[in-house]
A and B are shown apart, each in its own frame.
Chain A
Amino acid sequence: MKAILCLVACVAIGPHVIAPYVIAPYVARDFSPASFQAPRRPQRIVSLVPAVTEMLFAMGAGDQVVGVSSYDRHPPEARTRTRLGALVDPDVERMLALKPDLAVVYGTQSDLISRLERAGVPMFSYEHAGLPDITATIRRLGARVGRADEAGRLASRIERDIEAIGSRVGGRLRPRTALIIGREPGALRGIYASAGLGFLHDMLETAGGEDAFADVGRQNLQVSIEVLLARAPDVILEMHPPEAWTPERIARERTLWRALPALPAVRNDRVYILADDVVLVPGPRVAQGIRLIAETLHPAAFRAGGRTP
C-alpha cells in the first residue's frame, strides 16, 4: 500500500520537478530585450495593462497597437482595438491570433508568460510600483518600441508638470488624509485605504497631503472604524472609477460620512469623492491626477493665476 502511494506521488510530482531542467534549454526564460531577436519597432503590440496602453498612445506609438485590455478607456482610439481580457482572464487565443510582436503583460501573470514564451512572443513585463517608476517605465517602453525620443520628451514633460504642482503646494500645511480606494457601496463598511506604499500614496504626498496610514507600509489596508477614529484624518478623499458615479450618487455617498461626526474631516466638511480614472491609472496623465488631488486638498493654491501649461 505504501509503495503504491509513493509511486503515485512520484508520478504526480516528478514531472513538475524535472520539467524546468528538461525544457528550459529550449526556451529563453529571460525575456529582456537583449536575449530576444525582437524587432526594433514592433508593429503589432498587444497590451493588457491600461496604463501602458495610455503610455503607448501618448508617445505616438498608437498605430503600432493592435490589441488592448478590457479595461482600456483612454484615449478614445484605444477603444477601437481588439479587447483581450485583463489581469485575471487574459484571452491567450485571441492574443496569439493577432500575431503580436510584443506583448505587454503583468509580471505576476506567470501562466500567461510561460505560454507566450512557448509561442515565441517577446514580452514587456510591468508591475505596479511608485510614482517615479511611471516615468522610468515610459522611457523603458519608448526604447523598446522604437520611440525613445518621444518617450523621453513625454517623461520629461510629466516630471516638469509634477514639479510645478509640487512647488505650488509646497510650504503649505499638509492635511492628514485618508485616501479611500474602495468601500462597500452605500455603507461605511469594508473600507480600503492607501497605507504608505504605491503610486497612489506617492500621488497624495506629491499633491501636498499626508497619508494618514503611512506608517503601516502597505499598498492597501482594510480600515476599521476604530482605526479611522484613532487616526482622525483632516481630509477624506475617496477615489473611484467613473462608472456608475453620477453626481447624485456622489452627493448621496458623501452624506454617509455624517455617521462619524467625530472625524475632523467630517466636522470641517472636507469629504471629497473623485470619480475619475485620471487619478487611478499610473500612466501619462498622472500629472493631471496629481493636480486634481492637489486642487482638492489646497484649493487656495490654484485659485489665483492661470493653469499650468
Chain B
Amino acid sequence: MLTVRDVHFGYGGAPVLQGVTLSVRRGDLVGILGPNGSGKTTLLRLMAGALVPQSGQVLLGQQPVGRHARRALARRLAVVPQETHLAFDYSVIEIALMGRYPHLGAFEVEGAADLAIARAALALTGTAHLADRPFDTLSGGEKQRVVIASALAQLADGLTGTPAADLRVGDDAVLLLDEPTASLDIRYQLEVASVLGRLHDERRLTIVLSTHDLRFAASMCATVVLLGRGRVLSAGPPREVLTAERVAELYEIDAGRAAPLLPV
C-alpha cells in the first residue's frame, strides 16, 4: 500500500538516504530501526509527503504521495511526531478535535459527530479522563497518547457499534509514528506500546514507526527494517533480521558486543 522505491534524499549537499526501497502492506506493523542520524525521521517525512525525494518515488496506493490532494491525504495518513510542542495552551479535547480538521469544509465548524469521534479516540488511548486538562500539564506518556488519539481522530471516518460508540477507521488508513517511545519512561513506553499493539491487533491498522530501541522493535513489530547510514541493510521478521552480525553492522560495533543486546 505504501511503497518507497529507490529514494535518494539529502539536505543541502549531504545525502541522508541513498537508494532506500521498502514496501508496507495493508495491516502491517513495520518498525524502522536504526541509530541516531541514520535517516529514520527523514524517511518518515518522505513517506508522509512532507518532503519530496530527490530521486525515486514514494507511492501511496498507485499515486505518488505528493499527488494526493492535501486534505484527502490527511484523512488517510496521519503522523505522530516524536515530541509535540504547542505555542499556545490548548486543552486535550481541542487537540483531539484538531484531528478532525481535514474532514471539515473551509468555514465549517466541528459538529456533534466530530466531538463524539474525538472522545472515542481519547477513550481508545486511555486519555478520556484528561479531556479538559491543558495539554502542557500532562506527563510525557499522556501527551504521546493524546497526540495518537488526535491522529486516530484524523483517520476515523465515523463511529460503529452501539451502545458503546467505537471508532471506525478505513482499511487504507496509515499511522506513522516517529520514535513514539524515545523520550518516555519504561512505564509510558509500555502504555504506548500497548495502545499501538491493540490498534494493530484489533483494527488491523497499518502502522509504520521508527525507533532506535532494539527490544521495542522486536517485541512490537511484525516487520523490522534496519536502516543504517541512509541505506536499508535488511528487512523482514525480527527473528530473521535481528542477528548479531546485522545488529553489529547497523550500530557499527563488534559482533561480540552486539550479542547481549539482542532480544531474547
A/B: CB atoms within 8 Å of each other? no
Contact surface of A with B, Cβ cutoff 8 Å: none
